[in-house]
Amino acid sequence: MRILMVCLGNICRSPLAEGILRKKAEEHALELFIDSAGTSNFHIGENPDKRTIKNALKNGVDVSMLVARQFKAKDFEEFDIIYTMDHSNYSNVIALAKNDAHINKVRMILNELHPNKNMPVPDPYFGGEEGFQHVFELLDKACEKIIEKIKHNSLI
């Protein structure tokens, strides 16, 4: 299974989601192909935000080596599921879809925890450590659910 995490800058939420899911996949000996991308070109080539790296490490996840890239239409072919963090990411990704198969791959990540509620993972970029910790806890729960579903063959 190939899973792509998407946010705006690919320096806060989506690299964290990538790192958390990678760690859980390893712990459960699941072979997943996991990546992340941003809908914007703001931070291409950069490592995650320093505050994301620090908060993730505090929670036992190392995302320091990840490098930001921009979401591209070809990602629809290369991934089975594309998780977006908020409504704006969702719309920006859907805008590049060429058919229903592409559209059906795109989901709001917190719908794994709260089906059909379309709740966003709040953008922590303009806030403090509390926001980063809140995002970590939301994504940790969502990724745990994703792993559970994969193990029960009920993700797609």
Binding site for ligand 4NP (CB under 6 A): 7-13, 38, 42, 123, 125
In the complex, the smallest distance separating the C-beta of residue 152 from ligand 4NP, rounded to whole angstroms, is 29
Measured distance CA(141)–CA(148) in Å, rounded: 11
In angstroms, the CA 146 to CA 6 distance is 15
Q: Which of 35, 49, 123, 140 is catalytic?
A: 123
With beta carbons less than 8 A apart as the criterion, state whether 155 and 146 touch: yes
In whole angstroms, how close is the CB of 31 to ligand 4NP at the nearest point? 27
Q: Are 36 and 155 in contact (CB under 8 A)?
A: no
Sheet strand arrangement including 2-7? 33-38, 2-7, 81-84, 106-108
Catalytic residue check, 13: yes
Q: Which is nearer to ligand 4NP, 27 or 126 (CB)?
A: 126
* Angle, vertex CA 60, rays to CA 125 and CA 64, nearest 5: 55
Q: Which residue, 109 or 150, has its beta carbon nearer to ligand 4NP?
A: 109
Among the listed residues 13, 22, 49, 86, the single catalytic one is: 13
Q: Which two tokens stand for residue 14?
A: 């989506």
Measured from the CB atom, is 35 or 123 closer to ligand 4NP? 123
Q: Could you tell me the smallest distance in angstroms from the CB atom of residue 24 to ligand 4NP? A: 20
Task: Identify which of residues 8 and 20 has a Cβ nearer to ligand 4NP in the complex.
Answer: 8
Residue 7 is a catalytic residue = yes
- As annotated, the active-site residues are 7, 13, 123
